[in-house]
Amino acid sequence: MKRLQTICNIIAVLYLIFHLCYAGFMFTQSLFYAMIWLAILVVEVLIVVFGLKKAKFIVCIFTLFLLAQSCLSAFIYVKGFDLQTKNADYVVVLGYALEDNQMTETLKLRLDRTYEYAIDNPNANIVLCGGITGSNTVSEAKVMYDYLVTKGIVSTRMRLEDTSTDTIENIQNCKSYIDTKSKVVVLSSNYHVYRASKICEKAGFEVHTLGSKAPILLLPNQFLHEKLGFIKMMIFM
């Protein structure tokens, strides 16, 4: 039992160190998410300190919780892959928040994957999803459209869904552009497509999923966002 407690203590401390480093990193990316990670870290420290002083089994339970969260992130990542994506009638590309009307690396990676798919599947129609969010003055869909046009994708292949502000609205609004009896592929970042597929199921149509690469250093933040997104999906759909 003591050995198990020692192992749990070590694992918990390693998680705390990682979360401390990640909170510091997020201060260079987003103050909002940096504060969230800092708050998570404070709660974790309080749990560990209380457990070590009052009831060591609490640290073991906390460690199992952290490990379960990591396993859930891995599950979300792996389940996002689908090999049956060739020759789709429609590919629905989900947007990502702009920064000062400019696409981020995450969105660029999604669009580069879209371009590859469009070239390999010339009959696929492309639905670009994303409205105006934050302080931006242009929609995500329009920025996505302009980028793909410059890459050589014919404009007549693309449809813009430029009124949505989150994934649930992305899926619900793009239904008007799609014959749901056709083969549909949803394209987004690899950490995101599993939730997108579940939203599609709740919205009434089945899809295949295609994931793009994502910036590795942002993955912990994105997995946190995904878990919160699942909660939102369960409440509002």
CA distances from 20 to 27, 42, 71, 171 (A): 11, 9, 20, 36
- The pLDDT of residue 100 is 95
- The pLDDT of residue 81 is 75
| Average pLDDT of the segment spanning 45-54 | 91
- The pLDDT of residue 206 is 82
Tell me, which fold does domain 90-236 have in CATH?
A: Rossmann fold (3.40.50)
* Residue 191 CA to its chain's centroid (Å): 5
Q: How confident is the model at residue 150 (pLDDT cuts 50, 70, 90)?
A: very high
Question: Phi, psi at residue 209, to the nearest 5°?
Answer: -120, 145
| Average pLDDT of the segment spanning 146-150 | 98
| Average pLDDT of the segment spanning 58-76 | 93
Kindly state the helix (H) or strand (E) to which residue 129 belongs, with its residue range: strand 125-129
Mean confidence (pLDDT) of the chain: 92
Establish how many alpha carbons lie within 13 A of residue 123's alpha carbon, considering only the half-sphere containing its beta carbon: 8
Q: Which two tokens stand for residue 114?
A: 């879209």
Residue with tokens 């429609």: 90
- The pLDDT of residue 78 is 85
| Average pLDDT of the segment spanning 33-39 | 95
Q: What span, in angstroms and rounded, lies between the C-alpha atoms of 20 and 37?
A: 8
Question: What share of the chain has pLDDT > 70, as a percent?
Answer: 100
- The pLDDT of residue 164 is 94
- The pLDDT of residue 204 is 83
- Sheet order of strands, 184-189 included: 158-161, 125-129, 90-94, 184-189, 208-212
| Average pLDDT of the segment spanning 197-220 | 90
Domain boundaries, the chain: 2-79, 90-236
Query: What confidence tens digit (pLDDT) does each residue in 132-144 have?
Result: 999 999 999 999 9
- Alpha helices in 89-192, H assignment, sequence order: 105-120, 140-151, 167-174
- The pLDDT of residue 202 is 87
Query: What confidence tens digit (pLDDT) does each residue in 99-130 have?
Result: 999 999 999 999 999 999 999 999 999 999 99
Radius of gyration from C-alpha coordinates of the chain: 20
Q: Which amino acid is at 213?
A: K
pLDDT tops 80 at residue 222: yes
